[in-house]
C-alpha cells in the first residue's frame, strides 16, 4: 500500500511540474514562428472562393506560388494574376509579426472544441502590422486563428484548418474575413469586375466599410523545392 501511495505521489508531482513548465508566451511564439519559417517556398494547387457583398466573383482555380518572406503569385487557369505589392499577402507568414516582437499571454480559449493558448503580438520594428492576436494549438504547434490589425488593410481575421499537410505547418483550408473598404483586392479579382467577368450585384460605396470573405482550399503542395524569383516578375502586356 505504501509503495502504491509513493508511486501516486511521484506521478502527481510530475504532473504539477509539467504544468509549472508550460511554455512562456514568448517561447511559444518563437517556436511557432520558427516552424512557420521552415517553409521557404511552395507551389500549391488551389481553389479560391471570393465573397464580396457588391459583386459575384467566379471561383478562381490555379497555382499559388509562395517564396519567403513575402513573394506570392496566383497563376489562374486561363489567365495570370499577380497579387499587388501593396496588398497584404494572404499567408500566415505575413499575417504574423517576425520574431522581434513583444508577446503578451492572453490566456486560453476554445477553438472547435480544443483548448488553445491566445497570444497578443506587437512588432518592435516598423511594420504594416500593428497588432496580431493568435490562437495557438500548443500540442501541435499550429496557429488555428489569427486576427491582424494593419495600417493599410484594416483588420484581417483568418481561420486555418489542418489535415494532410500538418507536418509542414501548412493548412488544407484558410478562410479570411476582411474589411473590403480597407483591403486592396487582388488585381485579378478587380480586373474580372472591371471587364464584366464578375457580376456586379450593387455599385460599391467606397465610403462605407463592407465585409468580405476569401476561402482558399489547398489541394496539394510542393514544398521547399525552390521557386525562381523571376516567377514573381509581372510580365509586360
Q: Identify the CA nearest to 43 among candidates 235, 228, 236, 233.
A: 228
Q: Judge residue 163's burial from the number of C-beta atoms within 10 Å of its C-beta, 0-12 exposed, 13-18 middle, 19 or more buried.
A: exposed
Residue 54, H or E segment: none
- 152/131: higher pLDDT: 131
Entry pTM: 0.78
pLDDT band at 211 (very low <50, low <70, confident <90, very high): confident
User: How far lies 133's CA from each of 48, 76, 102, 212, in Å?
Assistant: 25, 32, 12, 20
SS3 180: coil
Q: Give the pLDDT confidence of 180-209 residue by residue, as tens digits.
A: 665 555 544 444 434 445 454 445 455 555
Q: Identify the CA nearest to 65 among candidates 236, 234, 233, 232.
A: 232
| pLDDT at 144 > cutoff 80 | yes
Q: Which residue segments constitute the domains of the chain, with CATH numbers given?
A: 22-224 (2.50.20.10)
Q: Give the pLDDT confidence of 33-42 residue by residue, as tens digits.
A: 999 999 999 9
d(CA 136, CA 142): 6
Amino acid at each position: 500500500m505504501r509503495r502504491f501511495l509513493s508511486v501516486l505521489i511521484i506521478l502527481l508531482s510530475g504532473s504539477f511540474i509539467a504544468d509549472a513548465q508550460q511554455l512562456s508566451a514568448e517561447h511559444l511564439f518563437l517556436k511557432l514562428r520558427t516552424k512557420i519559417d521552415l517553409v521557404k517556398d511552395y507551389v500549391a494547387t488551389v481553389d479560391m472562393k471570393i465573397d464580396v457583398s457588391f459583386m459575384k466573383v467566379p471561383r478562381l482555380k490555379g497555382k499559388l506560388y509562395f517564396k519567403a518572406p513575402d513573394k506570392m503569385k496566383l497563376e489562374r487557369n486561363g489567365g495570370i494574376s499577380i497579387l499587388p505589392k501593396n496588398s497584404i499577402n494572404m499567408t500566415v507568414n505575413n499575417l504574423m509579426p517576425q520574431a522581434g516582437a513583444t508577446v503578451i499571454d492572453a490566456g486560453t480559449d476554445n477553438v472547435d472544441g480544443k483548448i488553445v493558448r491566445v497570444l497578443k503580438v506587437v512588432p518592435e520594428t516598423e511594420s504594416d502590422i500593428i497588432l496580431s492576436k493568435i490562437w495557438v494549438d500548443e500540442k501541435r504547434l499550429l496557429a488555428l486563428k489569427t486576427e491582424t490589425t494593419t495600417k493599410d488593410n484594416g483588420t484581417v481575421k483568418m481561420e486555418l484548418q489542418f489535415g494532410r499537410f500538418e507536418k509542414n505547418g501548412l493548412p488544407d483550408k484558410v478562410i479570411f474575413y476582411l474589411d473590403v473598404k480597407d483591403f486592396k483586392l487582388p488585381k485579378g479579382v478587380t480586373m474580372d469586375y472591371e471587364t464584366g467577368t464578375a457580376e456586379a450585384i450593387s455599385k460599391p460605396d467606397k465610403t462605407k466599410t463592407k465585409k468580405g470573405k476569401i476561402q482558399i482550399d489547398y489541394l496539394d503542395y510542393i514544398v521547399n523545392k525552390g521557386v525562381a524569383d523571376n516567377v514573381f516578375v509581372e510580365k509586360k502586356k
